[in-house]
Amino acid sequence: MYIRETDSTGKPSSAFAQRATLVFVDNSKLYITEHLKSGLITHYYYDWIHGNGNQVLAKFHCEPHDDPDYQTDTEPYHIHPPDHSKLTNQIRFANYSFRDLSSIVEGIYLLHLLPNKLKV
Protein backbone atom coordinates (compact mmCIF):
# COMPACT_ATOMS: atom_id res chain seq x y z
CA MET A 1 0.00 0.00 0.00
CA TYR A 2 1.16 3.52 -0.63
CA ILE A 3 -0.32 6.99 -0.14
CA ARG A 4 -0.79 9.84 -2.60
CA GLU A 5 -1.27 13.35 -1.24
CA THR A 6 -4.40 14.18 -3.29
CA ASP A 7 -7.91 12.76 -3.61
CA SER A 8 -9.82 11.99 -6.83
CA THR A 9 -10.05 15.72 -7.64
CA GLY A 10 -6.27 16.06 -7.77
CA LYS A 11 -6.44 18.91 -5.25
CA PRO A 12 -4.01 18.99 -2.31
CA SER A 13 -5.04 19.27 1.33
CA SER A 14 -5.85 22.67 2.80
CA ALA A 15 -6.99 24.13 6.11
CA PHE A 16 -10.56 23.25 5.07
CA ALA A 17 -10.08 19.73 3.67
CA GLN A 18 -7.67 16.86 4.13
CA ARG A 19 -7.15 14.87 0.93
CA ALA A 20 -5.27 11.65 0.19
CA THR A 21 -5.46 8.44 -1.80
CA LEU A 22 -4.55 5.02 -0.44
CA VAL A 23 -3.48 2.63 -3.19
CA PHE A 24 -3.83 -0.98 -2.06
CA VAL A 25 -1.83 -4.02 -3.21
CA ASP A 26 -4.62 -5.03 -5.63
CA ASN A 27 -4.37 -1.52 -7.18
CA SER A 28 -7.80 -0.49 -5.85
CA LYS A 29 -7.85 3.03 -4.42
CA LEU A 30 -9.50 4.67 -1.45
CA TYR A 31 -9.98 8.36 -2.17
CA ILE A 32 -10.12 10.29 1.10
CA THR A 33 -11.75 13.70 1.48
CA GLU A 34 -12.36 15.02 4.98
CA HIS A 35 -13.93 18.46 5.37
CA LEU A 36 -12.72 20.37 8.42
CA LYS A 37 -13.97 23.13 10.67
CA SER A 38 -11.77 24.30 13.54
CA GLY A 39 -9.54 21.28 12.92
CA LEU A 40 -12.38 18.74 13.33
CA ILE A 41 -13.90 16.56 10.61
CA THR A 42 -17.41 17.84 9.86
CA HIS A 43 -18.12 15.34 7.10
CA TYR A 44 -16.18 12.98 4.88
CA TYR A 45 -16.19 11.04 1.62
CA TYR A 46 -14.20 7.80 1.43
CA ASP A 47 -14.62 6.39 -2.07
CA TRP A 48 -13.20 2.92 -2.77
CA ILE A 49 -12.63 2.40 -6.49
CA HIS A 50 -11.52 -0.72 -8.39
CA GLY A 51 -8.00 -0.77 -9.83
CA ASN A 52 -9.45 -0.24 -13.32
CA GLY A 53 -10.32 3.28 -12.14
CA ASN A 54 -13.99 3.34 -13.11
CA GLN A 55 -15.85 0.74 -11.02
CA VAL A 56 -17.15 1.80 -7.61
CA LEU A 57 -16.56 -0.85 -4.96
CA ALA A 58 -18.14 1.24 -2.17
CA LYS A 59 -18.50 4.84 -1.08
CA PHE A 60 -18.59 5.61 2.64
CA HIS A 61 -20.13 9.05 3.23
CA CYS A 62 -21.39 11.00 6.22
CA GLU A 63 -23.09 14.07 4.80
CA PRO A 64 -26.70 14.45 5.92
CA HIS A 65 -29.60 14.40 3.47
CA ASP A 66 -32.58 16.61 4.31
CA ASP A 67 -34.96 14.74 2.01
CA PRO A 68 -36.37 11.72 3.93
CA ASP A 69 -36.45 9.70 0.70
CA TYR A 70 -32.64 9.78 0.65
CA GLN A 71 -32.03 9.12 4.34
CA THR A 72 -30.95 5.84 5.89
CA ASP A 73 -31.51 4.53 9.43
CA THR A 74 -27.98 5.68 10.28
CA GLU A 75 -28.22 9.18 8.78
CA PRO A 76 -25.83 10.92 8.13
CA TYR A 77 -23.72 7.73 7.82
CA HIS A 78 -24.42 5.70 4.69
CA ILE A 79 -22.76 3.54 2.05
CA HIS A 80 -23.19 3.81 -1.70
CA PRO A 81 -22.76 0.24 -3.01
CA PRO A 82 -21.51 -0.80 -6.45
CA ASP A 83 -24.16 -0.67 -9.19
CA HIS A 84 -24.49 -4.46 -9.44
CA SER A 85 -25.53 -4.78 -5.78
CA LYS A 86 -28.19 -2.08 -5.62
CA LEU A 87 -31.64 -3.31 -4.73
CA THR A 88 -34.36 -1.82 -6.94
CA ASN A 89 -34.14 1.94 -6.42
CA GLN A 90 -32.19 1.83 -3.16
CA ILE A 91 -29.00 3.79 -3.76
CA ARG A 92 -27.73 4.04 -0.18
CA PHE A 93 -27.34 1.49 2.58
CA ALA A 94 -27.31 2.20 6.31
CA ASN A 95 -23.79 2.25 7.77
CA TYR A 96 -23.69 0.82 11.27
CA SER A 97 -20.00 -0.15 11.45
CA PHE A 98 -17.70 1.74 9.06
CA ARG A 99 -17.75 5.33 10.33
CA ASP A 100 -14.11 6.39 10.35
CA LEU A 101 -11.05 5.92 8.18
CA SER A 102 -9.50 3.28 10.44
CA SER A 103 -12.55 0.99 10.47
CA ILE A 104 -13.03 1.40 6.70
CA VAL A 105 -9.42 0.46 5.89
CA GLU A 106 -9.62 -2.45 8.35
CA GLY A 107 -12.86 -3.63 6.69
CA ILE A 108 -11.33 -3.44 3.21
CA TYR A 109 -8.34 -5.43 4.41
CA LEU A 110 -10.29 -8.10 6.32
CA LEU A 111 -13.21 -8.49 3.90
CA HIS A 112 -11.49 -8.03 0.55
CA LEU A 113 -7.70 -7.93 0.48
CA LEU A 114 -6.93 -10.72 2.95
CA PRO A 115 -9.37 -13.30 1.48
CA ASN A 116 -8.13 -12.53 -2.06
CA LYS A 117 -4.42 -12.63 -1.16
CA LEU A 118 -2.42 -14.95 -3.40
CA LYS A 119 -1.28 -18.13 -1.69
CA VAL A 120 2.49 -18.50 -1.45
Half-sphere exposure (CA, 13 Å, Cβ side) for 103?
7
Distances (CA, A) of 115 to 6, 57, 84: 28, 16, 21
CA distance 24 to 50: 10
In order along its 120 residues, the chain shows pLDDT tens digits of 899 999 999 999 999 999 999 999 899 999 999 999 998 999 999 999 999 988 999 999 998 888 888 788 999 999 988 877 666 556 788 999 999 999 999 999 888 877 777 554
CA distance 10 to 90: 30
CA distance 53 to 51: 5
For the whole model, what pTM was predicted?
0.87
